[in-house]
Structure 1
Amino acid sequence: MKMLAWGLAGIAASLATPSVASEGGKSAYPNGAEALTIAALPPPGTYLLDYQYYYTADRLNDRDGNNVGPPDLSVDAVANIPRFVHVTNTKILGAALAMQVFVPVVNVNVRAGGSRQNKFGIGDLIVNPFVLGWNRKNTFFVLTMDTFVPTGRYKRTDLANIGNNYWTFEPVFAVSHFNPAGSGPEVSAKFMYDFNTKNTATQYRSGQAAHVDFAASYNFNPITIGVTGYYFKQTTDDKLNGVKVGTDGYRGEVFALGPLVRYQAGKVPIVAQWQHELSASNRTQGNSFWLKAAFRF
């Protein structure tokens, strides 16, 4: 295969979105992490995919998209996320079998209401022992489920946390269409649905959510240029002690778009992308920046 696939299972690192005085509106998955070749598994072997991630925001929106955060609000999260993937020779129902684990190293800095806090350490891990990938000519599919493990440091009274203190189970379906042998157009999308357990430190349970990462691009070989984005929509209410939070269940929603570029440096693809959040409800609103590279052992 001419390029190592970014997607493999189309899953991003487990990086907890920094909380700003509330659990509502955050999620285990950093939206927009995946863009190109989301659903294409590379040949059997062991791979390292390294993600550099930066998220920044200076507003916290209510359900109508109005900024209700303090004037000095600032959220900055930086992470290096090594992702280890092993693609086996095993076939199940015609699909290649792979497995993966993510180990995010996260630094979060939050300022709000005259207070500031910084945290650094290992975030919530993702483990996934069962990734299935199919290939039909130039169309690729992946079906799997990620498990976000609450390994990151968390304290109920802290302004900044690098863990969520609850489990998230995320079924994933991803699809990509491109020509792996040469130049041409590419479209990719990764569909996810989140089920969250209760945070036992706060008795808060974040609602279920549907979200998608997507991209459309053209490969000029060795440079690919395109647009990438994400959409997140919470589908059930947040609950505290079993009771709906607020009048709307603090249901979050966000939509983002931005450019991407990939350079194929021999066998190593290098991808840079930026996504600007154009609208957000019951969430912070800001910008995501990604720099990614893939290597085969």
Structure 2
Amino acid sequence: MRRWLLALMLMATTFPPPAVWAGGSGAYPNGADDFMAGVVPPPGTYLMLYSNYYSADRYKNNLGDNYEVGPLADLDISVWANVVRVVHVTDIRILGANWAVQTLIPALDMDFEFGAPFEALNDSHFGLGDIIVNPLLLAWHGKHFHWAAGLDTFLPTGSYDKYREPINPGNNVWTFEPAFGITYLNGPIDLSMKLMYDFSTTNDDYLDPRNGRTVDLVPGQEFHTDFAAGYSFAENWTVGVSGYFYQQTTDDEVDGVDVPDERGRVLALGPAIKYAHKNMSFTFKSLFETQVRNRPAGNSTWFRFIYAF
């Protein structure tokens, strides 16, 4: 019930879909990929562990300004996301590409705190997020260019309670995400980018903040990209700049009506460093958000470990 009261006090036409991942407005964890984003490794099985901490103390409106009144004028958001990702690359070739499959299992610890007089709205939650599967990931390799394409599917496995918006680890929708990654490798230079576009099904258990009714919510479509530019200054070390860009491209639809002026947007940039040793690698980066619209504005810190069996 407190989530419903919060939504009423926001006096918005709707509240954006919950940030399932740290730093995300939809399903995908913005900033997850960086160096060698278009490179799929040789046949084998790979374990990847991600740990991401996202924090924000500002919420931007449609003009990019901070809210001056209400709960969003004084808030602290923190999210810990820990993700297990398993990739298996087969020796089967399809259309000249290596065929791979993957799955990602996230767990999230979310905390929302509000300033006076809205402390009663404070809430926290730990739970399983929406599991991601991809049974058809294809990868091609050239002399300098490497690229990969696939379709990630986000399953509605995460915990969801309409009365706890927006602090839900799950979105209560299916999301289909065509993805294309490309990497240019030439000596010590690594230029990488991953392009994605998200389509989501209907959340039929959304609490409309305007009237407290349970209605259908169709999240808007989303374009987003992760990118990085790196330089290998030693045999095992790479340093560079990483970031992400996110833009909601269509309006959310609540109870059959489009919601105008609520499309999210964000650009993030920051330093990144990677160390590789034998069959392992470690990546650390910190990304700072700017050009934010209709979402929290903060920063995201990532650690990734990769182990090749």
Equivalent residue letter for 1:222: N
Extract structure 1 runs of 4+ deviating beyond 3 A: none
Cα deviation code 1:43-86 (max 9, x no counterpart): 11111011011111111111101112534311111021010110
Unmatched runs of 5 consecutive residues or more in structure 2: 1-5, 8-14, 19-24, 207-215
Q: Which residue of 1 aligns with 2:171?
A: 164
The alignment's TM-score, normalised by the length of structure 1, stands at 0.89
1:209 is displaced (CA, Å) by 1.1
- Rounded to whole Å, the distance in 2 between the matches of 1:216 and 1:161 is 34
The alignment's TM-score, normalised by the length of structure 2, stands at 0.85
Equivalent residue letter for 1:207: G
Larger Rg: 2
| 1:178 partner SS | strand
CA RMSD after TM alignment = 1.4
Q: Which residue of 2 aligns with 1:266?
A: 278
Q: Which residue of 1 aligns with 2:209?
A: none
> 177, 188, 197: which one pairs with 2:184?
177
User: Contact 1:24 / 1:282 at 8 angstroms: preserved in 2?
Assistant: no
Q: Which residue of 2 aligns with 1:201?
A: 205
- Rounded to whole Å, the distance in 1 between the matches of 2:143 and 2:304 is 26
Q: Which residue of 2 aligns with 1:90?
A: 92
User: Contact 1:24 / 1:251 at 8 angstroms: preserved in 2?
Assistant: no
Change beyond 3 A, Cα 1:24–1:103:
closer
> 264, 277, 280: which one pairs with 2:292?
280
1:199 is displaced (CA, Å) by 0.9
User: Contact 2:58 / 2:74 at 8 angstroms: preserved in 1?
Assistant: no
1:189 maps onto 2:190 in alignment: no
1:198 is displaced (CA, Å) by 1.2
Q: Which residue of 2 aligns with 1:11?
A: none
User: Contact 1:24 / 1:252 at 8 angstroms: preserved in 2?
Assistant: no
1:268 is displaced (CA, Å) by 1.1
- Rounded to whole Å, the distance in 2 between the matches of 1:67 and 1:85 is 41
Total equivalences in the alignment: 273
- Rounded to whole Å, the distance in 1 between the matches of 2:42 and 2:149 is 17
- Rounded to whole Å, the distance in 2 between the matches of 1:134 and 1:175 is 10
Equivalent residues in 2 for 1:107-126, closer than 5 Å? 107-112=109-114, 113-114=118-119, 115-126=121-132
User: Contact 1:173 / 1:190 at 8 angstroms: preserved in 2?
Assistant: yes
User: Contact 1:104 / 1:124 at 8 angstroms: preserved in 2?
Assistant: yes
1:212 maps onto 2:214 in alignment: no
Aligned identity (percent) is 42
User: Contact 1:138 / 1:178 at 8 angstroms: preserved in 2?
Assistant: yes
- Rounded to whole Å, the distance in 2 between the matches of 1:173 and 1:47 is 20
Equivalent residue letter for 1:194: D
Equivalent residues in 2 for 1:1-297, closer than 5 Å? 21=7, 22-24=15-17, 26-68=25-67, 70-112=72-114, 113-114=118-119, 115-159=121-165, 160-179=167-186, 184-202=188-206, 203-220=216-233, 221-245=235-259, 247-248=260-261, 250-297=262-309
- Rounded to whole Å, the distance in 2 between the matches of 1:266 and 1:255 is 34
Instruction: Indicate the structure with greater helix content.
Output: 2
- Rounded to whole Å, the distance in 1 between the matches of 2:127 and 2:222 is 27
User: Contact 2:197 / 2:223 at 8 angstroms: preserved in 1?
Assistant: yes
- Rounded to whole Å, the distance in 1 between the matches of 2:17 and 2:81 is 22
Unmatched runs of 5 consecutive residues or more in structure 1: 1-19
